[in-house]
Amino acid sequence: MRKRLFLQAATAAMAMTWGHAQAAETPLKFQLDWRFEGPAALFVHPEQKGYFKQVGLDVNVEAASGAGAIQRVASGTHDLGFADLAALMEFHANNPDAPIKPVAIMVIYNTTPASVMALKKSGITKASDLTGKKLGAPIFDAGRRTFPIFAQANNVGDVQWSTMDPQLRETMLARGDLDAVTGYTFTSLLNLEARGIKREDVVVLPYATHGVQLYGNVIIASPKLIAEKPEAVRAFLKAFARGAKEGIANPEAAIASMKAKDGLVNAPLEVKRLKLTIETAIDSAGARAEGFGQLRTERLQAMAEQVSKAYATKNPVPARAVWNGSFLPSAADLDILPRR
């Protein structure tokens, strides 16, 4: 009898402890920049492995639907997100009175993944060949928005733009409706392959190797979250870095985590996409020089000036206001790029 009462009391105590632990978890909503494709696995992997929970967070990673991460965080519906830094700069410059202006807290793509892609049969072999050609991309495409910077750096004259939904971009290029497209290399190149175009038949002109030194996607956070729960921000980045290190070292494992969340994921295709993302945007010379997750103030300021001009913003881009690197994990935690 005494033993049974002891066991009941112990079980009740454990339940109360577990209940308190669960209640102590800080819920956070994270908005991706796109669907559950290759790069998203770096965020889904720590979620599925429980790394966020281990630091007291209940993180829900959501695919993009409709509005992008900047709009979601700015509206207050999401706490964190994954977004293009140039687009974040544009938001700050055009919405100085917005009550919530998201802030970048970690750089993921030290190098913009944007590029111009054309089929070899078009005769386009270099940037200057684009003058007078018909280019296509969705109106919000990062490569299209920053094309003026690419054009200026490479003496490209006027081009004709065609606008379409994202899913039609590569189809239109493949069937000859366009001379070239802009897009993230790891998206458009694999989409062209899926449409029967061999990789060796595609000319890729990466912005990063053509005089465009823009940062790409970053993790953004709500200033409200930063002010009210700074430890949650710090814990999120630490857990993310742990998961990202595993995902970069083992893309297959990261994609397996993503497929566990979304059974419709095409694992072999997304493994290729994640590897291409790491190769073209994450494990870059810039990331090696500046450190993963970090940036240089001088480069940030130069980018702000370029974006302000290319996007014709209402006000100058406030470079210092878009970045807060005070929550980055330790150098040891950020040492996630593979040894060469």
Contact 220, 69 (CB under 8 A): yes
CATH architecture of 27-110+215-322: 3-Layer(aba) Sandwich (3.40)
AA letter at 55: V
pLDDT tens by residue, 278-314: 999 999 999 999 999 999 999 999 999 999 999 999 9
| Positions of CATH 3.40.190.10 in the chain | 27-110+215-322, 114-209
Torsion, CA 24, CA 238, CA 78, CA 302, rounded to 10: 150
Q: For position 23, what pLDDT does the model report?
A: 52
pLDDT number for residue 120: 97
d(CA 271, CA 37): 9
pTM of the full structure = 0.91
pLDDT at residue 21, rounded to an integer: 45
Quick one: CATH architecture of 114-209? 3-Layer(aba) Sandwich (3.40)
* Dihedral sign computed on CA atoms, order 119, 205, 41, 217: negative
CB 82 within 8 A of CB 69: yes
pLDDT of residue 4: 54
Positions in the chain short of pLDDT 70: 1-23, 66
Rg of the Cα atoms in the chain:
22
Q: So what's the pLDDT on residue 19?
A: 46
Supply the pLDDT for residue 340: 74
- Please tell me the distance from the alpha carbon of residue 118 to that of residue 97, in angstroms, as a whole number: 41
pLDDT tens-digit map of 38-64: 999 999 999 999 999 999 999 999 998
